[in-house]
Structures are given as structure tokens and as C-alpha cells.
Amino acid sequence: MTPAARLSAAIELIAAIDSATKRPADAVANDYFRDRRFIGSGDRRAVSERVWTIMRSRRRLIWWLHHINLRPGPRLYVAASLMLEGWALTGLKQSFSGGQFAPSPLNGEESSGLSKLEGRKLVHPAMPDDVAVECPEWLLESLVARFGDDLRDEMAAMDSPATLDLRVNLLAGTREDAIAALAREDIEAKPTPLSPWGLRVEGRRPVSTGAAFQSGLVEIQDEGSQLVALLADARPEMRVVDWCAGAGGKTLALAMTMQNRGHIVACDVHDKRLEGAVKRLRRAGVHNVERHLVEPGDKWAKRREGSFDRVLVDAPCTGTGTWRRNPDARGRLKSTDLSELVTKQHMILATAAKLAKIGGRVIYATCSILREENEAQIDRFVAENPGFRVLNLTEIWPGPAPCPGPGPYLSLTPLRHNTDGFFTAVLERVA
């Protein structure tokens, strides 16, 4: 594809994402490229990078387009993003030429407006704070309370591309084995700084099609997610329940730390998610996992109260910690979503915690950076359940890397740890 054709494809893909309001952008993009197999890997990468850059700066681009009296839309998102990256109007006109596969020419109004962006930067001092940090207006107060003076730096880190992290499956080999196997695929991987099983790959490489992944030696998993499993400290012969298991990413890590010994129950309310875990479990060589579908009126949990050594509650959440990976989610999140999720999280934690035996632990985790879903949930739970106590991160951190925070909780952000935003609290049942 020519550079101009890539811009046309970016415009088409943004339009497709905008029209599919209830679908994640990555799912729409997968369908878009699947239907256009003539687009090569390098072109796909270039188009995707342009689109994701625009997704990460959508509110600021809209502000600028209103500022220069142009109506926002996919075509002008692309044009404005290029101008704010330093393009000259003459170069933009050459790309928007109307030639074969190129975007149609700029009209007089577009040219006049876009000319005002020459020499400008994406962030302008006159922007409202919520626009400047690229967050919904209703959420700004919560983020200020969370980050204070560091808010702009934290949110700027959310604008950066997410890392590609892998977890080595110790049931299949060592971290050194995985590095060597990936090198044979011409993929350079380096150990992550915090997870003892983590590897980080530079760039966007097709890991999932290679032998290291297909053989079960590595899984794709953000380092922050790996640390949740690390803090669970699930050991051989334990009884463990992963209460919101989904497709089993953390279940796989728990089975690994248990050396395939003991018993894990992977629970979820969606049968398709649990079915999706089957292939992953087989590929990883895991055979100590039982799946259970949680349904209305289900008595399974009540009959097993007080019988598990570890209870992992990877609670459904706003996903604000994954915004650098899923930038389109910022625009879909509503205040009602947060209030509904906070209620749901409280109910899930209260139910799941009953499964822990005396001396057992409950590990509560979210991929959120909001206090309402994290510290506030734990404060409320402990106040209502005096039979549980919080274990301080600094006292239980299993290493070998230095503890990533002062405690009492694990609180990760892209800025401070180069991971997705994650929160983890470890509670012990003492009565």
C-alpha cells in the first residue's frame, strides 16, 4: 500500500469502529483486516498504529477541530492528527490527493481550518483538564483524587502503546528455555523487572503463531496480571478457586505455581468464557483444573464455604487500568457503569470470601485505577467482615525482585511500573 492508501484505510477503520458502538475497537479491527487479506503485515501495522494513535487522542482532536470550526469525523481525525504531529499543509494536500486509493482532496474550508494547526501541539493550555488528560468529564474528580499532581504524567503514560508481555509456563520449561525458543523465531525477549516468570518483547511480534506459544511454553499476559497470580501464592496440594476465571489466564498461572498438584476450580457466569479456557489449559499441559458455571440459584458455593486455601476474585471492573491497551474504552465508559460495577464487586467479594477457610486467603484484584473499585471496596468489606484482615504487601511480597510499592496493597500503573493499571489486596480469614 502507498502511504496515502494507508491513510484511506485508517479513515475506513475509524468509521467502522465508530459505527460499531458496542464492540471493542480491536475486535472491529480484526474483522476489518480479515476481510481484506490483501493488506500485508507491514501495512496492517502502520494502519493500526495510526488508528490507535487517534483513539488515544480523540477528545483532544475533537477539541482542536471545534477550535478551527471543522466538524469532527474520521477523515478529519486523521488529517488533524498528522498536522499536530508536525506535518505541513502542503504535505497533507499531497496525501489527500484524490488519486488512486488516496483520500479525496481537501476542500477550501478544510484547507483553511487545518492550516491553523501548523506548528501546533496536541495539548493546548486552553483545553479543559478532562480533555487534556483524555478522560470522561465525569471521571476527572476521581482521577484527581487518585493521582493528585501526578495526574497528567499518569495519563500521558496511558497514551503510550502497551507492552507485549509473556508469561513463561514453568510446567513446560524455564525462562531461559523460552528466551532461546523465541530467539529461534527471531523474537528477542528480555526478563521483566518484577515477575519472575515474565518476558517482554519489543514491538508487535506475531508470538501466537510461533512454536514457543503453540507448544505451551509461553502465554501472552501483562506483567501486572502475572503479579496478581504471584501474590496469590498458590502452592502444590492446595484447594484454590478462581471465582471470576473468564478465559483462564490467571487460572493457568495458578496451576503453574501449584506444579499441577492440588485442585483448582475455575468459575464464571459465562459458559463461553469457560469453554474458551479449555484449549489454553490443554496447550499448557494443565490437568488439575475443574470448571464450574455459576448460575442463578446455584448452591455450589454455599456447600463449599470455608473449604479453600486460596480464593482469587478477579472482579469485573471499568478496565481503566487497560486504557493504553484499549483506548476506545474511555469513550464507552459511563458513570452508571461505575456505580453498577461497584455494587456488583461488593456482592461478588462478599460471596466468594465465604469460600476461604480459616487461615486461607482471599485475593481481590481489578484492572482499574479507581479508588471506588479498589481501596474503598476493601475498606467496606473489612468493616463488614471482622473475620478478615488485610495482609500488607511488604510483609508477603514473594520477590525475588524488590517490592513494587509501600503497601498495604499492590497498586500498579503504566507510569510507575510500565504495566497495565492493576490493584490487588490480599486478605486472610482469621475467624
Residue 130 has pLDDT above 90, yes or no: yes
Looking at the structure, tell me whether residues 109 and 183 fall in a common domain.
no
Distance separating alpha carbons of residues 28 and 10, to the nearest angstrom: 12
Q: DSSP strand E in 81-163: where? A: none
- In a domain, residue 301? The reply is yes
Residue 215 main-chain phi, psi, to 5 deg: -85, -5
- In a domain, residue 133? The reply is no
Q: What is the pLDDT of residue 235?
A: 97
- pLDDT tier for residue 316 given thresholds of 50, 70 and 90: very high
Looking at the structure, tell me whether residues 303 and 350 fall in a common domain.
yes
Which is nearest to 155 in space by CA: 415, 418, 419? 415
Looking at the structure, tell me whether residues 206 and 275 fall in a common domain.
no
Q: What is the pLDDT of residue 206?
A: 86
The CATH number linked to 179 is 3.30.70.1170
Residues 6+ apart with CB under 8 A from 177: 168, 217
Looking at the structure, tell me whether residues 173 and 249 fall in a common domain.
no
Q: What is the pLDDT of residue 203?
A: 80
Looking at the structure, tell me whether residues 61 and 87 fall in a common domain.
yes
Q: What is the pLDDT of residues 22-64, one digit of tens each?
A: 899 999 999 999 999 899 989 999 999 999 999 999 999 999 9
Which pairing describes strands 263-268 and 239-242: parallel, antiparallel, or unpaired? parallel
- In a domain, residue 138? The reply is no
Q: What is the pLDDT of residue 344?
A: 98
Report the percentage of the chain scoring pLDDT > 70: 100
Residue 205 has pLDDT above 90, yes or no: no
Residue 21 has pLDDT above 90, yes or no: no
User: Can you tell me whether residue 355 is helix, strand or coil?
Assistant: coil
Q: DSSP strand E in 315-355: where? A: none
First to last CA, the chain: 65
Q: What is the pLDDT of residue 191?
A: 97
Q: What is the pLDDT of residue 399?
A: 79
**Which of 99, 127, 155 is the last residue in one of the domains?**
127
- pLDDT tier for residue 307 given thresholds of 50, 70 and 90: very high
Residue 359 main-chain phi, psi, to 5 deg: 90, -10
- pLDDT tier for residue 342 given thresholds of 50, 70 and 90: very high
The CATH number linked to 298 is 3.40.50.150
Summarize the confidence of residues 324-353 as an average pLDDT.
96
Looking at the structure, tell me whether residues 256 and 394 fall in a common domain.
yes
- Residues 425 and 364 sit within 8 Å (Cβ to Cβ): yes
The CATH number linked to 45 is 1.10.940
- In a domain, residue 120? The reply is yes
Q: Report if pTM > 0.85.
A: yes
Q: Which domain holds residue 269?
A: 223-429
Report the percentage of the chain scoring pLDDT > 90: 94
Q: What is the pLDDT of residue 67?
A: 97
Looking at the structure, tell me whether residues 175 and 313 fall in a common domain.
no
Looking at the structure, tell me whether residues 92 and 198 fall in a common domain.
no
Looking at the structure, tell me whether residues 287 and 425 fall in a common domain.
yes
Number of independent structural domains in the chain: 3
Q: What is the pLDDT of residue 204?
A: 80
Q: What is the pLDDT of residue 197?
A: 97
- In a domain, residue 353? The reply is yes
One DSSP character per residue, 20-89 reads -TTS-HHHHHHHHHHT-TTS-HHHHHHHHHHHHHHHHTHHHHHHHHHHTT----HHHHHHHHHHHTT--H
Q: What is the mean pLDDT of the chain?
A: 96
Summarize the confidence of residues 142-150 as an average pLDDT.
96
Residue 364 has pLDDT above 90, yes or no: yes
- In a domain, residue 333? The reply is yes
Q: What is the pLDDT of residue 373?
A: 98
Looking at the structure, tell me whether residues 185 and 104 fall in a common domain.
no
Active site residues: 367
Q: What is the pLDDT of residues 230-274, one digit of tens each?
A: 999 999 999 999 999 998 999 999 999 999 999 999 999 999 999
- In a domain, residue 59? The reply is yes
- In a domain, residue 154? The reply is no
Q: What is the pLDDT of residue 260?
A: 96
Looking at the structure, tell me whether residues 250 and 380 fall in a common domain.
yes
- Residues 307 and 262 sit within 8 Å (Cβ to Cβ): no
Looking at the structure, tell me whether residues 378 and 238 fall in a common domain.
yes
